[in-house]
A = this chain, B = another copy of it.
Amino acid sequence: MLRRLLLLRHAPRRRHYSSSFSFALPLSSPTFAVFGANTGVGKTLVSAGLAASLLRSAPSTLLYLKPLQTGFPADSDAGFLFRRVPSLLRPSHAVRLIASLDTLSVSPSVETPPRSPQEAAFSYDGEGEVVRKQLVCRTLYAWREAVSPHLAAEREGMAVEDAHVRSRLAACLVDGQNLGNGEGEMWKLVETAGGVASPGPSGTLQCDLYRPFRLPTILVGDGRLGGISSTVSAYETLLLRGYDVSAVILEDRCLSNDKFLLSYLRNRVPVLVLPPIPEDPSDDLTDWFSESSSVFGLLKDALQSFHSTRIQRLNSMQRKSKDLLWWPFTQHNLVPVDSVTVIDSRCGESFSAYKVKDNKMMMTPQFDACASWWTQGPDSNLQIELARDMGYAAARYGHVMFPENAHEPALRCAELLLGGVGKDWASRVYYSDNGSTAIEIALKMAFRKFSLDHGILVGSDKNITNERHIQLKVLALEGSYHGDTLGAMEAQAPSAYTSFLQQPWYSGRGLFLNPPTVFIRNETCTLSLPQWMQHSHLSPGDKCFPSLAEVFCKTRDSSSAADLYSTYISQQLSEYSLSSNREHIAALIIEPVIQGAGGMHMIDPLFQRVLVQLCRNRKIPVIFDEVFTGFWRLGVESASELLGCLPDIACYAKLMTGGIVPLAATVATEAVFESFRSDSKLTALLHGHSYTAHAMGCSAAVKAIQWFRDPSTNSNLDFDQMKLNELWDGTLVNQLSSLPNVRRVVSLGTLCAIELKAEGSDAGYASLYARSLIQQLREDDIYVRPLGNVIYLMCGPCTARDICTEQLSKVYRRISSFNPVH
């Protein structure tokens, strides 16, 4: 009995896929993309020959997809396969093949009406048992003119957005699973149009259009004169999009291109060579296909081996990772092997995770809601730009020595930093590798400046007046976190991270104040008072705010809260300095506006502003730790814009490179820099790391900094105010803040954090309280990593607002029905 073919007759509803890609793709059927090194290199002949070879042996079903077809209906690659493949199955095969052909959408200018699905049965009554097989050939979009799809789409009035092409292709690949008759394997081939970098209907290059699928690829090389060059270049274009090329196959045009490529690609990709394709258009290629048959057999074997090696590796990665890796901040006992997330690739805000569920292998997209430890900024376009820049920087500079030297990426990055986050105050950039080192450097800078300003160091050689008796301390806030190396840890208040168990050398060299915080609860912006303020008299207008804008408003500087803060801080400083004349508060260090690792707490910006002012009055250098808050994380390039005051020293990392490689910068005023000058090397700042100002990091930063602040690449940017438009839907945020199991919400810039109500051991860093919620969200394709009982979503500065809304809605749905099981 013939099985009715399941056809997709309607395109999926239109959604916004500018960056996010949300289809789980089945991995059980080997699926390959066919790309061409150039146009006219014989992609369709390869597809046909491979299809025949496959149908002759393993799979019972072959799905051939041609997403974009021009020159239709005269040219139809799907039609070619439909007609030719059945005839290529050798009579010695006892096969009953059912072939079908259909076309989903055609341009209005196609003169013949779109053909309805055709079916053709080919049967051979040889000896032995007859095997049933099927070949499904499908064109997704077709245009009349035989030109590039971007021209055809423009001229014929059937423009198609990338998102549509992707979602329809994804739907075909997913639904294609139902085509199989349950017996035997299924294979899928997706044949692209033109060369690897030929434009699709919207102008997006083929290699970019299909990148979110990251299908392993067959590259049809070019056997003609110049074909070595175009094949190598096409191969590199695919690599620059993160594709794995599983085989190169090309026609022999008696130029030995294959021999060269075989040698050039040795140990990387198998290279196969096909006999010359007859140039006579009347040749029906029967002889050619027959001569090529063994080569297609080898191609099939190569692909089969590629696929099984890949699946085998993917299946082994959970176990191997659990056995060999030592994850940071992770109790390995609490990570069951099958909960290890195997990440296959990233595309913009999402990554693809390999999962096996109900015995089905899938590649599932996960929205990276933790922005991979708050580093991520790239949408999928920026990621490709960065990939190209990384290749260029590696080839042009690799890494070169920095002290006393200059190179373009380091200098350009410094110019951008000083013209951006350092504008109006900073004049020097000190590079290092990560937030923690940037903080240690900042502390060394501050201590030097303080020591000179306060007579602890004197003279041109900066001699110490009375070494052993002096202890320099920091002023910092409870709940702050500045990094994991000892110097950075010393600047934070005692916590689980600083115990003897974790860091026996920690002593906590600071005066730590407990600050007031702000959050949304029951739809209201509320000031939360620490213990010391509980009994202070504040008017309701000082405690509740109609919106965040009022919290940041500078008019609060003359409020009674400002007086209260000022009195408290002054008193703390006085008490401290009275308690010892050996100890000096030599630096203020704060995370402006939001404390990240401490639990996503928004500190009252007025409190921080008062703090900065009081320190400045006392000539205590001010350090802003902008490692988390910098580069649009909070909706502005520097959080100091929200705070309305400037530091002497600021630290940047994470988002600075757009989220691609580690790099940090400690930015300082000229006065701070001056305190290290003399004629002796010994007074210089003797701190450095091997890869200081490495070209790749600086190049990435140059690209990312410009990308984020350019309205032509960042559509979230309000260029007049130089801030991001609101990304998190206000209504949803308010609704969340009113849920009975939510304690508070903080929503600012790219961050939306939700603290769940939890008591006792359920609260705090080590809490597993939210575990089941996290699991549910991962099923919703959101990869959340909580801070104890704080759940947060974090997007990039360019993430489309509807992607944010989509994720936040999912979170709302899950939290509103969340019922933790203990």
Contact = CB atoms under 8 A, between A and B. Distances in A.
A755 interface: no
A689 interface: yes
A484 B240 CA distance: 36
B341 A690 contact: no
A403 B327 contact: yes
Contacts of A678: 331, 333
Q: In this complex, which of A196, A332, A483, A686 has the most chain B Cβ atoms within 10 angstroms of its Cβ? A: A686
A820 to B, nearest CB: 17
A387 B395 contact: yes
Given A388-B236, A399-B376, A691 B677 contact: no
Contacts of A485: 436-437, 440, 485-488
A434 B689 contact: yes
Number of copies: 2
B436 A437 contact: yes
B682 A496 contact: yes
Interface string A319-361: 0110111111111111100011111111000010000000000
A251 to B, nearest CB: 15
Nearest to A146: B225
18 contacts: A38-B229, A198-B229, A199-B228, A236-B391, A325-B410, A328-B686, A329-B688, A332-B684, A341-B405, A344-B407, A346-B399, A372-B400, A390-B391, A390-B393, A433-B437, A447-B504, A487-B505, A505-B509
Interface in A432-459: 432-437, 440, 443-444, 447-448, 451, 457
B198 A396 contact: no
The 9 tightest CB contacts between A and B, nearest first, are A195-B229, A328-B688, A391-B391, A242-B396, A39-B226, A486-B487, A321-B406, A242-B395, A233-B233
Interface in A625-661: 653-654, 659-661
A222 to B, nearest CB: 9
A457 B472 CA distance: 31
Contact of A328 (B150, B464, B692): B692
A697 B16 CA distance: 33
Interface stretch (A278-286, A411-419, A543-551, A570-578): A411-419
B346 A39 contact: no
A174 interface: no
Interface stretch (A115-123, A378-386, A743-751): A378-386
Interface string A598-637: 0000000000000000000000000000000000000000
Given A226-B198, A236-B237, A404 B327 contact: yes
A509 B505 CA distance: 9
A232 interface: yes
B242 A234 contact: no
A592 interface: no
A159 interface: no
Contact of A326 (B39, B263, B653, B685): B685
Interface string A232-248: 11101101111000000
A77 to B, nearest CB: 15
A38 B692 CA distance: 39
A471 to B, nearest CB: 8
A403 B329 CA distance: 7
A816 to B, nearest CB: 26
A532 interface: no
A387 B399 CA distance: 11
A380 B286 CA distance: 48
Given A462-B501, A484-B689, A502-B686, A429 B324 contact: yes
Given A391-B388, A653-B690, A197 B396 contact: no
A502 to B, nearest CB: 5
A484 B688 CA distance: 7
Given A237-B232, A333-B677, A428-B326, A690 B375 contact: yes
A226 B40 contact: yes
A662 interface: yes
A730 interface: no
A654 B391 contact: no
Given A470-B500, A502-B444, A436 B233 contact: no
A690 B668 contact: no
Contact of A239 (B388, B447, B697): B388
A401 B340 contact: no
Nearest to A327: B403
A373 interface: yes
Given A324-B428, A400-B368, A679-B331, A232 B255 contact: no
A508 to B, nearest CB: 12
A626 to B, nearest CB: 13
A64 interface: no
Contact of A406 (B255, B318, B681, B689): B318
A260 interface: yes
A76 interface: no
Interface string A692-723: 11101100000000000000000000000000
Q: In this complex, which of A398, A410, A462, A686 has the most chain B Cβ atoms within 10 angstroms of its Cβ? A: A398
A676 to B, nearest CB: 8
Nearest to A39: B226
A49 interface: no
Given A196-B233, A256-B151, A501-B464, A324 B682 contact: no
A420 to B, nearest CB: 13
A112 interface: no
B148 A255 contact: yes
A394 B660 contact: yes
A406 B228 contact: no
Contacts of A39: 225-226, 229
Contacts of A144: none
Contacts of A320: 406, 411, 415
A470 to B, nearest CB: 7
B690 A435 contact: yes
A444 B768 CA distance: 25
Nearest to A319: B406
